[in-house]
């Protein structure tokens, strides 16, 4: 017999292997947790190969007419566990004061803590929803985006949204995310004319051109940062020629770069900037924008979370925009959104684990946040 505490609920979710894109039994489990609490659960499949199909779940418990709407967003998919775990990553195990299992931190533990919090809240407190996708760790084309499209079709718009990503660093509650930088990856291709190195006048070396492009890009200083964002940065991530011979000038050279950028830029503006440099040297650019920057200025939701963290843990939290992207980048377009969850030290690693005390404290914090947001 399992209980409604965060530990037992986390074990139930972890026990379902749900490598991205997740589907099936883990959503059955999620539905079984929510329906007894009075939620109407809607599940649907979105998208087609290669980035789909993806299973999603939207759960809604309506409050009185005109009541505020608080939403929690998360994902049930996990990254592949890899080899070398001490125990089966999908058989949750408590050893000492830690719960081990893939997804314990990212982010089945946070989802379990929120569901546990629901058991402590009056059913008539206000409107509460859960936005749960099976594809956050993957391409994320048919997950939260599809859920938002469903919500729009149903004329559902939350007032506040908490995303349960593992934002804490050293101690639970030491950091919450009020924004994220944008991300764009770019592929640079330079074509030349193949030939023998002894006859360079009969060839056109694309590596030389690519070198000039990369040198000019490296000299760019995009900005000096803002009050809430660190300076945008450009990093070269790959160079490829594929030339098996030492005496042949290749016909093509390729490079790849990644830009993490703050809210002084957009993916499109950066693509235009880099494209002008690339094309000046005879190259071609293919950008892929995976997310735009967003910022939820310090306000009601971040204040509620910070106060609850202080009350439960004694910590003064840090408001941050550091780190990578998350599905909050999508949700920020329709609702004020803040991210807060467990400590992230072991996410995506072998023997991923969460402290038992952190699970229970997170449930208490979530309870206070929702209770006060809907009061």
- Domains of the chain by start residue, with CATH: 6-180+293-373 (3.40.630.10), 182-291 (3.30.70.360)
Whether residue 311 is annotated as binding a ligand: the answer is no
**Max CA pair span of the chain:** 82
The reported pLDDT for the residue numbered 324 is 85
Strand duo 294-295 + 40-46: pairing: unpaired
Q: At what angle do helices 6-14 and 108-118 cross, to 10 degrees?
A: 140
Q: What span, in angstroms and rounded, lies between the C-alpha atoms of 16 and 18?
A: 6
| Nearest residue to 252 via CA among 192, 187, 186 | 192
Q: What span, in angstroms and rounded, lies between the C-alpha atoms of 77 and 62?
A: 27
Q: Is the dihedral of CA 33, 14, 357, 170 positive or negative?
A: negative
Q: Is the dihedral of CA 305, 306, 312, 315 positive or negative?
A: positive
77 is catalytic: yes
Whether residue 348 is annotated as binding a ligand: the answer is yes
Write down the catalytic residue from 29, 55, 135, 136.
136
Write down the catalytic residue from 55, 77, 327, 352.
77
Give the three-state DSSP class for 183. Answer: strand
Whether residue 65 is annotated as binding a ligand: the answer is no
Do 134 and 22 contact (CB within 8 A), yes or no? yes
Instruction: List the alpha helices (DSSP H) in the chain.
Output: 6-14, 25-34, 108-118, 144-153, 206-218, 267-280, 300-313, 328-331, 356-373
Give me the average pLDDT of each 10-residue run along the chain (375 residues). 86 97 95 98 95 96 94 98 96 98 98 98 95 95 96 98 98 98 98 97 97 98 97 97 95 98 98 98 96 96 99 98 92 98 97 98 99 96
Whether residue 137 is annotated as binding a ligand: the answer is yes
55 is catalytic: no
The reported pLDDT for the residue numbered 2 is 63
Strand partners, 42: 58
Do 251 and 206 contact (CB within 8 A), yes or no? yes
Whether residue 165 is annotated as binding a ligand: the answer is yes
């Amino acid at each position: 017999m399992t209980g409604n505490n965060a530990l037992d609920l986390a074990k139930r979710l972890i026990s379902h292997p749900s490598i991205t894109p997740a589907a099936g039994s883990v959503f059955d489990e999620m539905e079984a947790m929510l329906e007894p609490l009075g939620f109407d659960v809607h599940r649907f499949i979105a998208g087609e190969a290669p980035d789909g199909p993806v299973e999603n779940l939207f759960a809604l418990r309506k409050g009185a007419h005109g009541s505020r709407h608080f939403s929690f967003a998360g994902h049930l998919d996990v990254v592949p566990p890899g080899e070398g775990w001490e125990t089966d990553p999908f058989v949750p195990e408590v050893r000492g004061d830690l719960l081990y299992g893939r997804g314990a931190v990212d982010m089945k533990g946070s989802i379990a803590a929120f569901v546990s919090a629901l058991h402590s809240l009056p059913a008539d407190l206000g409107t509460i929803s859960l936005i749960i996708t099976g594809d956050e760790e993957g391409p994320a084309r048919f997950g939260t985006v599809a859920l938002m499209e469903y919500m729009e079709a149903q004329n559902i718009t939350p007032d506040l949204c908490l995303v349960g990503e593992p934002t804490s660093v050293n101690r639970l509650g030491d950091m919450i995310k009020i924004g994220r930088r944008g991300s764009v990856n770019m592929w640079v291709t330079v074509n030349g004319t193949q030939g023998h190195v002894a006859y360079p006048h009969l060839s056109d070396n694309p590596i030389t051109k690519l070198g000039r492009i990369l040198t000019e890009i490296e000299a760019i200083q995009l900005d000096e940062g803002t009050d809430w964002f660190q300076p945008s940065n450009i990093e070269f991530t790959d160079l490829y020629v594929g030339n098996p011979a030492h005496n042949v000038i290749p016909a093509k050279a390729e490079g790849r770069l990644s830009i993490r950028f703050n809210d002084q830029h957009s993916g499109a503006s950066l693509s235009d900037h880099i494209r002008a440099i690339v094309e000046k040297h005879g190259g071609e650019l293919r950008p892929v924008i995976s997310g735009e920057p967003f910022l939820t200025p310090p306000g009601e939701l971040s204040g509620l979370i910070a106060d609850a963290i202080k009350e439960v843990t004694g910590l003064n939290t840090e408001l941050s925009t550091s780190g990578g992207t998350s599905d909050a980048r999508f949700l920020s377009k329709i609702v004020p959104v803040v991210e807060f969850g467990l400590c992230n030290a072991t996410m995506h690693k072998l023997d991923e684990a969460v402290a038992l005390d952190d699970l229970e404290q997170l449930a208490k914090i979530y309870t206070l946040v929702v209770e006060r947001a809907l009061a």
